[in-house]
């Protein structure tokens, strides 16, 4: 039986539906490396994952986790903000995962912020291949998280439906500050065949 679950579960479900061996994926916020490992497993030995974080601790944790799982050879970890992803990643990406907020177990004063998230999302949308997906887990339970969520909704609401589909998942009865998941899919190219 299907069960409605958390924002992170929806993001995981999306990547399992989208990614196939040989794909390229981006973990825009490495955190402790769980998502990077999952992405690396899904893209297989012929695929590749690029991971970004501004904290050395996140890079180190992710590298250890990938090495333990034997997945390090299919990942490139970059100590840089996700707003710089276009400097490292070529277009044609199948999935880009954002998990906003702070590093779990880390300094809560170091958090994602709308200005860099906005720049990163603009890059992500350009890097996605047709049919590619970007998932954004947002945590509005703190001041910057609330601001990011509000700005995200404004920004994504203005995307042209001919170019992107945008889904918002939130639990209406979960209370203020509950995590939300936004899913953006780049539209497939329109067929050039004329109908009869």
Q: How confident is the model at residue 6 (pLDDT cuts 50, 70, 90)?
A: confident
The reply to whether 191 falls in a domain is no
Asked if pLDDT for residue 156 goes beyond 60, the answer is yes
The reply to whether 154 falls in a domain is yes
- Mean pLDDT estimate for the chain: 91
The reply to whether 132 falls in a domain is yes
Asked if pLDDT for residue 196 goes beyond 50, the answer is no
Lowest mean pLDDT across 34-43, 121-130, 136-145: 136-145
**Of 56, 53, 146, 135, residue with least CA distance to 94:** 135
The reply to whether 27 falls in a domain is yes
Predicted local distance difference test score (pLDDT) of residue 1: 79
The reply to whether 1 falls in a domain is no
Predicted local distance difference test score (pLDDT) of residue 175: 78
Predicted local distance difference test score (pLDDT) of residue 90: 98
Lowest mean pLDDT across 33-47, 79-93, 176-190: 176-190
Can you spell out the DSSP letters for the chain?
------HHHHHHHHHHHH--TT-EEEESS-TTSHHHHHHHHHH-TTSEEEEEES-HHHHHHHHHHHHHHT-GGGEEEEES-GGGGGGT--S-EEEEEEE-SB-TTS-TTSB--HHHHHHHHHHHHHHEEEEEEEEEEE-TTSHHHHHHHHHHHHHHHTS-TTTEEEEEE--TTS-TT--EEEEEEEPPPPP-PPP-
Predicted local distance difference test score (pLDDT) of residue 118: 96
The reply to whether 195 falls in a domain is no
Q: What is the mean pLDDT of residues 29-56?
A: 96
- In terms of residue numbers, what domain contains 159? 7-185
pLDDT digit string (tens) for 168-177?
Answer: 998 888 877 8
Predicted local distance difference test score (pLDDT) of residue 174: 80
- Number of domains the chain contains: 1
> For the domain that residue 156 is a member of, what is the CATH number?
3.40.50.150
The reply to whether 59 falls in a domain is yes
Predicted local distance difference test score (pLDDT) of residue 101: 84
CA 4 from chain centre, in angstroms, equals 20
Q: Are 126 and 89 in contact (CB under 8 A)?
A: no
Predicted local distance difference test score (pLDDT) of residue 172: 82
């Amino acid at each position: 039986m299907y069960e409605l679950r958390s924002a992170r579960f929806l993001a995981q479900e999306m990547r399992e539906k989208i990614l196939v061996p040989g794909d390229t994926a981006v973990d825009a916020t490495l955190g402790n490396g769980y998502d990077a490992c999952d992405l690396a497993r899904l893209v297989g030995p012929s695929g590749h994952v690029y991971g970004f974080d501004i904290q050395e601790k996140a890079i180190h944790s992710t590298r250890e986790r990938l090495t333990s799982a034997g997945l390090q050879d299919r990942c490139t970890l970059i100590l840089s903000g996700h707003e710089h992803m276009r400097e490292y990643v070529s277009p044609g990406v199948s999935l880009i995962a954002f998990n906003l907020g702070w590093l779990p177990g880390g300094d809560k004063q170091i958090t994602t912020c709308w200005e860099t998230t906005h720049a990163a999302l603009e890059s992500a949308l350009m890097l996605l291949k047709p049919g590619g997906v970007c998932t954004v887990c947002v945590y509005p339970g703190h001041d910057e998280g609330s601001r990011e969520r509000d700005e995200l909704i404004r920004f994504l609401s203005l995307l042209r439906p001919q170019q992107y589909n945008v889904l918002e998942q939130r639990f209406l009865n979960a209370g203020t500050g509950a995590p939300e998941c936004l899913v953006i899919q780049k539209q497939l190219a329109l067929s050039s065949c004329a109908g009869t």
